[in-house]
């Protein structure tokens, strides 16, 4: 990722160098002019990319923290090398020959065609362009509203993965593989055999079994019910503590095993096992929260007593929901909160940077629209097509805002420069000529460079090669069509200084 992103500054510097040579400047003058005009924009774009990457370190996992710090450091080094080594190399190399009748290479002709068509569309029909992007925004908002965030570690693996195939075979052929546990502490030795507690547990099991996504639920109550039915007892369960104690003694005398899986030796704590149909960790946490609510309603001593503790310190029943999936689900909420905080920090910091670049509060705020659009389209796509969205998709959004904003900065920086030298039409034309070509080339290189990640068998890496290029293409379209259209209708007009000044 660092290698791919690091190319951007070099491309903008070299593209400006070639165009300055075409304007008739000498090699040394072209190097200095490109460094002065593009170097400032490269500094700001590297800062915004740095902010977007470092914001990953706010996610409370070592993997995201290390990724954010390493990428941030890599971007800083890439900028340093670009602004120092590129001018030296260009000075040592001979100046490239300028073609007499235009560049005939297919790649350059394609880039020129994209730039020219974008300029023409945004100039002739700016309101139509704005309306089209407005419609895209509304569709994206609809998709975002359908989005349900979930993380399933098994589905992150490739369908060809042996681990995933084994898990799916076991789940389909035998039972669900997702589990959570409910631990009930009566607060005193022998309290687990109280008839009221076990009767409440029986009702609780009925509530749990009725929950969507539950495959099976089992506890000591099932054993007691089976024995009570076999011995022709009245009702569902014994009505006395002595009756439960006698059933347990009979079970052990008949060679019953694994009783410790259901109740501890002191007969104080009970364990309820719940098997889930889904292996999603967030759904496991949500189910656990609902089970906890049912327990407070059904079990004696828990009603209207938060966390199972009464104000007077009286011994009471406590309930603890546990299990790896449930605990990971609670942790996932912390991860999502960290990702949201990092994304908001990036948007705020980049917004301030944009205001500083264009030296206008109004233009800076308007300029954030095309940079937020790729995030909306990303959310709209995964929400509308996938519905259930893995939490790691948010990492793509955090990277996209850091990278995608670069082209907007280059475009507006160049437009502000040209607007102080020429009238509106000429300033926009030269902006497309100088910045537009470099923006298209850098986006193409970023997309091509990221595409190999799409071949990964692991979901979190694969989306870097599919969804991140999607965001970059949307950002390119917004920069070449929406931003010029907003300039044409006067929403993003820059404040001019003295004509001919580059300030």
213-243 confidence digits (pLDDT tens) = 888 899 999 999 999 999 888 888 998 989 9
- For residue 187, the model assigns a pLDDT of 86
- For residue 302, the model assigns a pLDDT of 64
Which strands form 269-276's sheet, in the order they lie side by side?
214-218, 269-276, 178-185, 318-322
Confidence of residue 478 (pLDDT cuts 50, 70, 90): very high
Confidence of residue 496 (pLDDT cuts 50, 70, 90): low
pLDDT at 499 over 50: no
240: left (phi over 0), alpha (psi -120 to 50) or beta: beta
- For residue 495, the model assigns a pLDDT of 59
Identity of the highest mean pLDDT range in 15-24, 25-34, 130-139, 207-216: 130-139
The contacts of residue 206 (CB under 8 Å, 6+ apart) are: none
The contacts of residue 59 (CB under 8 Å, 6+ apart) are: 65, 68, 335, 338, 339, 342, 395
pLDDT at 139 over 60: yes
Q: What is the pTM of this model?
A: 0.79
Q: How many CB atoms lie within 10 A of CB 342?
A: 26
Token readout for 349 is: 């910091």
**Token pair 């260009």: residue:** 90
How large is the average pLDDT for residues 60-81? Answer: 88
The DSSP secondary structure of 392-436, one letter per residue, reads: THHHHHHHHHHHHHHHHHHHHHHHHHHHTTS-HHHHHHHHIIIII
Confidence of residue 500 (pLDDT cuts 50, 70, 90): very low
Instruction: Give the residues across from 270 on adjacent strands.
Output: 184, 263
**Token pair 């902010």: residue:** 51
375-398 confidence digits (pLDDT tens) = 999 999 999 999 888 888 988 888
- For residue 463, the model assigns a pLDDT of 92
- For residue 308, the model assigns a pLDDT of 44
- For residue 177, the model assigns a pLDDT of 65
Average pLDDT, the chain: 85
- For residue 480, the model assigns a pLDDT of 92
Instruction: Give the residues across from 274 on adjacent strands.
Output: 180, 217
Write the CA distances from 375 to 95, 144, 317, 486, 497, integer angstroms: 41, 10, 47, 19, 34
DSSP code, position 351: H
How large is the average pLDDT for residues 341-370? Answer: 86
400-450 confidence digits (pLDDT tens) = 888 888 888 888 888 888 888 888 788 888 888 888 888 898 898 899 999
Q: CA 60 to CA 359: how far, in whole Å?
A: 35
- For residue 154, the model assigns a pLDDT of 82
Confidence of residue 99 (pLDDT cuts 50, 70, 90): low
Q: CA 153 to CA 458: how far, in whole Å?
A: 10
pLDDT at 331 over 90: no
253-264 confidence digits (pLDDT tens) = 888 888 888 999
Radius of gyration for the chain, computed over Cα atoms and rounded to the nearest angstrom: 32
pLDDT at 305 over 50: no
How large is the average pLDDT for residues 284-303? Answer: 85
Percentage of the chain beyond pLDDT 90 is 25
CA 410 to chain centre: 26
| Range of lowest pLDDT (101-105, 106-110, 305-309) | 305-309
- For residue 502, the model assigns a pLDDT of 39
**Token pair 């400006």: residue:** 16
Q: How many CB atoms lie within 10 A of CB 442?
A: 26
Q: CA 9 to CA 226: how far, in whole Å?
A: 73
- Strand segments, DSSP code E, in 202-276 are 214-218, 269-276
- For residue 102, the model assigns a pLDDT of 54
How large is the average pLDDT for residues 346-364? Answer: 85
Instruction: Give the residues across from 275 on adjacent strands.
Output: 179, 216
Instruction: Tell whether the torsion through CA atoms of 468, 12, 115 and 360 is positive or negative.
Output: positive
Helix (DSSP H) and strand (DSSP E) numbers for the chain: 17, 6
Within 93-238, residue ranges assigned H as helices are 106-124, 126-145, 162-173, 195-210, 220-230
Which of the pair, 324 or 133, is modelled with greater confidence?
133
- For residue 311, the model assigns a pLDDT of 45
Are 485 and 126 in contact by the 8 Å Cβ rule? The answer is yes
């Amino acid at each position: 990722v660092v290698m791919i992103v690091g190319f951007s500054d070099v491309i903008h510097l070299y593209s400006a160098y070639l165009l300055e040579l075409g304007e008739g400047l000498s090699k040394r003058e072209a190097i200095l002019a490109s460094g002065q005009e593009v170097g400032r924009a490269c500094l700001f774009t590297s800062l915004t990319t740095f902010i977007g990457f470092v914001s990953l370190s706010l996610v409370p996992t070592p993997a995201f923290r290390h990724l954010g710090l390493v990428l941030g450091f890599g971007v800083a080094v890439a900028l340093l090398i670009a602004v120092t080594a590129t001018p030296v190399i260009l000075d040592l190399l001979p100046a490239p020959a300028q073609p007499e009748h235009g560049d005939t290479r297919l790649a350059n002709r394609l880039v020129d065609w994209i730039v020219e068509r974008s300029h023409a569309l945004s100039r002739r029909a700016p309101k139509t362009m704005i309306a089209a992007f407005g419609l895209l925004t509304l569709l994206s908002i609809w998709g975002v509203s359908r989005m349900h965030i979930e993380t399933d570690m098994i589905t992150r693996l490739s369908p060809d993965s042996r681990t995933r195939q084994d898990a799916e075979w076991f789940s389909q052929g035998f039972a669900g593989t997702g589990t959570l546990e409910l631990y009930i502490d009566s607060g005193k030795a022998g309290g687990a055999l109280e008839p009221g507690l076990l009767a409440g547990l029986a009702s609780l099991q009925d509530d749990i079994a009725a929950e969507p996504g539950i495959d099976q639920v089992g506890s000591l109550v099932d054993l007691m019910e089976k024995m009570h039915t076999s011995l022709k007892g009245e009702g569902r369960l014994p009505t006395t503590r002595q009756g439960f104690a006698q059933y347990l003694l009979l079970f052990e005398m008949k060679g019953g095993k694994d009783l410790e899986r259901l109740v501890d030796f002191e007969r104080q704590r009970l364990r309820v096992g719940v098997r889930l149909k889904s292996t999603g960790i967030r759904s496991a946490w949500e189910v656990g929260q609902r089970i906890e609510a049912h327990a407070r309603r059904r079990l004696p001593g828990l009603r209207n007593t938060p966390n199972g503790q009464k104000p007077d310190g009286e011994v009471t029943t406590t309930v603890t929901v546990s299990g790896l999936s449930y605990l990971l689900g609670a942790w996932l909420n912390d991860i999502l909160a960290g990702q949201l905080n990092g994304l908001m920090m990036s948007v705020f910091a980049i917004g301030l940077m944009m205001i500083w670049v264009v030296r206008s509060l109004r233009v800076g705020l308007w300029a954030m629209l095309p940079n937020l659009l790729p995030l909306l389209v990303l959310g709209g796509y995964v929400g509308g097509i996938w519905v259930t969205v893995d939490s790691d998709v948010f990492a793509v959004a955090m990277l996209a805002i850091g990278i995608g904003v670069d082209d907007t900065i280059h475009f507006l920086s160049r437009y502000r420069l040209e607007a102080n030298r020429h009238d509106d039409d000429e300033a926009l034309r030269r902006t497309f000529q100088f910045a537009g070509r470099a923006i298209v080339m850098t986006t193409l290189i970023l997309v091509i460079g990221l595409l190999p990640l799409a071949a990964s068998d692991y979901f979190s890496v694969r989306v870097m090669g599919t969804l991140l290029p999607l965001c970059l293409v949307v950002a390119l379209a917004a920069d070449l069509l929406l931003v010029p259209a907003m300039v044409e209708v006067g929403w993003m007009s820059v404040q001019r200084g003295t004509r001919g000044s580059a300030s």
